[in-house]
């Protein structure tokens, strides 16, 4: 099974770049892209089981990624929330994200390689789970 990623990002250029790098480097399938909090929440309501990772930007042109993250509290235990931000990683931001239930935080400009490693690890976990669940 392919890793399914839902992207919440208001920059079309950033969405295109993330889609390309995730499909090529992580062999992931981008199942949806939404630029605003309200559109992302609506997508999540319509597709609660269609994603494995929600890749969320904190600062959107309309609403916030924090609202999207809050809406993801109803997710399945194996679904992950990942934050991508241009803001400097600091203890306050990391602590705030952890309190919100975020599984990982990556800097857009300097940590895309770490995002790919994270996604590949998630894909391996999904594959192992499917093998363990399949009969003999």
Look-up of token digits 């800097």: 107
Average pLDDT for residues 65-77, to the nearest whole number?
A: 92
- In this prediction the pTM is 0.90
- For residue 134, what pLDDT is reported? 46
In three-state secondary structure terms, 105 is strand
- For residue 65, what pLDDT is reported? 93
Q: What is the Cα Rg of the chain in Å?
A: 14
Identify each DSSP E strand in the chain by its residue range: 4-8, 29-34, 53-57, 80-85, 104-107
47-64 pLDDT tens trace:
999 999 999 999 899 999
* CA quadruple 127, 76, 116, 90: dihedral sign: negative
In the predicted model, what is the mean pLDDT of the chain? Answer: 90
């Amino acid at each position: 099974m392919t890793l399914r990623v839902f992207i919440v990002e208001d920059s079309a250029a950033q969405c295109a770049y993330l889609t390309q790098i995730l499909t090529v480097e992580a062999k992931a399938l981008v199942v949806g892209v939404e630029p605003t909090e309200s559109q992302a929440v609506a997508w999540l309501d319509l597709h609660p089981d269609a994603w494995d990772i929600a890749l969320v930007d904190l600062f959107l042109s309309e609403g916030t990624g924090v609202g999207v993250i809050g809406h993801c509290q109803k997710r399945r235990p194996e679904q992950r929330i990942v934050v991508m931000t241009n803001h400097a990683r600091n203890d306050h931001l990391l602590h705030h994200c952890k309190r919100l239930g975020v599984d990982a935080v990556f800097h857009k400009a300097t940590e895309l390689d770490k995002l790919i490693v994270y996604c590949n690890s998630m894909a391996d976990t999904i594959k192992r789970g499917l093998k363990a669940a399949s009969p003999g």
